[in-house]
Chain A
């Protein structure tokens, strides 16, 4: 754990910068750069890809905050000061980002599936960097393990599995696989983003077994299937349906 990256001193102005926020920003920036660099190959304009990335981010933030406020509506009405620092619900972010991107693509005639495919490896890469931020910030940790386990990290007063790093490594593998497969799958728009969704769903189901904080997030089927795993399972089904429904262009 290394929550504080550096402290900025400007005269009397002092501000700590946290590694978690820095990793999120770095991951987003890296993902968007990779996406923009790949855009031309998919027949998508560079500015369009940049706009899709930024709108996905904006819609994601708006959607995840909105869902959090909706879920906790009663508390927010009782105490409006909560609006100063609301939490986030990840799946609201997915929906919000998708809506923002869909609106943009429809309005300006950008092929959405191609733009998504161009962005898929960058998305996986940025996601991996963000997970490293989880380790530095000390969230999303794993369950305790033996101290002589080679990868064990000291976190919250115990030796634990560095689940954040397992996930980051898995996402890195997914990013490389997507980049390697992009040439093969280019005539089949939408297939690459479906592979990312499916790959991450499988990774999440696997790493969830090693996570120690699943009690906080609840179970659908106690002891067997946690809430996150159930949602990941749904995501996997959606990804499979998306992949199968995508026919190679021109073969129809």
Chain B
């Protein structure tokens, strides 16, 4: 159990550092953490060495902490991007400019089509 905790803790920590993969890291680190706790407790009661399980426990904590930091980061970025987008949509000035640009682009494409037909 301690070895499984260690492996999950290592994978979880590595995934937590890689941008965009924290959502895999958090469950892995969580399971590693739980296995580490239970494994260390079982090792203590059976008078077996606790090193592996303790290392798994610590790496589980590290992976979880890093994963949570990344999660908050991602959540904030997504929500602020969404807010900015919605603000842009409801802004009348921006809407006007967008419509103008759109009409201009439409006219130009029509012109190009006419030119091609004339040729």
**A contacts, CB < 8 Å to B:** 3, 15-18, 20-22, 24-25, 47, 51, 54-55, 57-58, 61-62, 83-85, 100, 104, 107-108, 137
A22 and B69 within 8 A (CB) = yes
A47 and B40 within 8 A (CB) = yes
- Min CB distance A189 to B, Å, is 22
Judge if B68 is at the interface, Cβ distance under 8 Å: yes
Question: Known contacts being A54-B33, A55-B37, is A85 close to B23, with CB within 8 Å?
Answer: yes
Closest Cβ neighbor of A16 among chain B residues: B73
Q: What are 30 A-to-B residue pairs whose CB atoms are below 8 Å? A: A3-B76, A15-B73, A16-B73, A17-B69, A18-B69, A20-B72, A20-B76, A21-B69, A21-B72, A22-B69, A24-B68, A25-B65, A25-B68, A25-B69, A51-B37, A54-B33, A54-B61, A55-B34, A55-B37, A58-B34, A61-B26, A83-B23, A84-B23, A85-B74, A85-B75, A104-B37, A107-B38, A108-B45, A137-B72, A137-B76
- Min CB distance A24 to B, Å, is 7
Q: Told that A17-B69, A47-B40, A137-B76 touch, could you supply 4 new A-B pairs with CB distance under 8 A?
A: A18-B76, A21-B68, A58-B30, A85-B78
Closest Cβ neighbor of B78 among chain A residues: A85
Residues on A with C-beta less than 8 A from B104 are none
Closest Cβ neighbor of A83 among chain B residues: B23
The count of chain B contact residues (Cβ–Cβ below 8 Å) is 24
Residues on B with C-beta less than 8 A from A21 are 68-69, 71-73
A61–B30 Cα distance when bound, in Å, is 9
Q: Which 10 pairs across A and B sit closest by C-beta, in order of nearness? A: A21-B72, A21-B69, A84-B23, A51-B37, A58-B30, A85-B74, A20-B72, A25-B65, A18-B72, A18-B73
